[in-house]
Chains A and B, each alone.
Chain A
Amino acid sequence: MQGKKGFTPLESPAIYGGDERCESLIPYRKGRVKAPFFLTGFTLIELSISVSMFIIIMLVAAYVFRSVLISWSSQETRTGLAIGLDRAVEEMSRDLRKARAVQAVNDEIRFRQGVSSYYIYYFYNPNDAYPLAFSQGLYQLKKEALSGGIDGNFTYGAGQPILNDVLAPVTSDLSMSGNLTTIDVSVRRHDETIRARTQVRPRNF
């Protein structure tokens, strides 16, 4: 490297081959060399600044992208939960609205439809035996036919799944006060929780 003559090593005649074209373009002034445009490279400072700026921009872009992905994923979970929850609450409301008899004890709802069809909505978790202690975090809400009237029996674990990932009572609540049945259900998935609550007055008592 020729410190006196060359601003960068590229300006050294040893590198550009002593091309006359280059020689003629290099103006000498006060013992320093001003490089022709096509021979200059980046200085260390320029390179450092541009690499630093690139890293900062990349970090900001990655942070923004990550935030968007997290929001999108969270919203997707909530939408999925809300669809299932709405459908379940609507189905239970319709069943109870046309029920001819309803009984709600210990967060299970037993009801009669028509003359002699009896059903139960109950919480199910394979790690919690019936009658339920609600010792687990999440339960499945199921609907099953009863045999032997409104106080009759059913097979615990059997029946149609109505809703998954339901938070245990007392967070969720299936109860009755007077003629009003309360359906208060909270569901949780991936730290996202959604609650729906409504009341139904059966029309055919």
Chain B
Amino acid sequence: MGRRGVSLLEVLIALIILTVGTFAISQAFSSGLLASADVENVDLALNIAQAKMEQIKNTSFASLVDISPTADANFPDFTVALNVAESQNPMRLDVTVAWNVKGGQANVTLTSLVTNY
């Protein structure tokens, strides 16, 4: 083993490896936390969609029309949209709840049928 020290190139390579490793680990933690938050949002969105569906069940068949995405009154970060298949009986309903996530939008959709009886 010689008596020479560590060269600048060796130090740089070591630093790059250390930085890449640290960045990867921090990204893994960050992704884990974001995934947990997403699960909570899916739960919340399903409840909002379910509530909307119950409101629809409480509405007369004739008054059901499409609703463009609108911020929810209780959870403004979520938008609720209704798509109805007009002139069908039973009529298909799609309630879509969407919210912003890192890099785009996520959504859940509940589908049901209502009958004019």
Interface string of B20-62 (1 = CB under 8 A from A): 0000001001000100100110011001101100110110000
What's the nearest-Cβ distance from chain A to residue B80, in Å? Answer: 12
Contacting pair A89 B33 (CB below 8 A): no
Contacting pair B3 A198 (CB below 8 A): no
- Where chain B touches its partner, the secondary structure class is helix
Tell me the nearest residue of chain B to A89, going by C-beta: B47
Interface size on B, residues (CB 8 A): 19
Tell me the nearest residue of chain B to A203, going by C-beta: B57
Q: How far is the CA of A75 from the CA of B38 in the complex (A)?
A: 12
Q: What residues of chain A lie closer than 8 Å to B58, measured between beta carbons?
A: 178-180, 201
Instruction: State the B residues within 8 Å of A (CB).
Output: 3, 26, 29, 33, 36, 39-40, 43-44, 47-48, 50-51, 54-55, 57-58, 74-75
Contacting pair A199 B33 (CB below 8 A): no
With A197-B47, A197-B51 already in contact, the answer to whether A78 and B40 are too (CB < 8 A) is: yes
Contacting pair A199 B40 (CB below 8 A): no
Contact of A201 among B3, B26, B47, B54 (CB under 8 A): B54
Contact of B40 among A82, A197, A201, A203 (CB under 8 A): A82
Instruction: State the A residues within 8 Å of B (CB).
Output: 37, 64, 68, 71, 75, 78-79, 82, 86, 89, 93, 178-180, 184, 194-201, 203
Tell me the nearest residue of chain A to B36, going by C-beta: A75
With A75-B33, A197-B47 already in contact, the answer to whether A180 and B40 are too (CB < 8 A) is: no
Q: What residues of chain B lie closer than 8 Å to A71, measured between beta carbons?
A: 29, 33
Q: What residues of chain B lie closer than 8 Å to A64, measured between beta carbons?
A: 26
With A71-B33, A75-B33, A180-B54 already in contact, the answer to whether A196 and B40 are too (CB < 8 A) is: no
Contacting pair B51 A198 (CB below 8 A): yes
Tell me the nearest residue of chain B to A195, going by C-beta: B44
Contact of A82 among B43, B50, B74, B75 (CB under 8 A): B43
Q: How far is the CA of A79 from the CA of B36 in the complex (A)?
A: 8
Contacting pair B47 A198 (CB below 8 A): yes
Q: What residues of chain B lie closer than 8 Å to A82, measured between beta carbons?
A: 39-40, 43
Contacting pair A198 B54 (CB below 8 A): yes
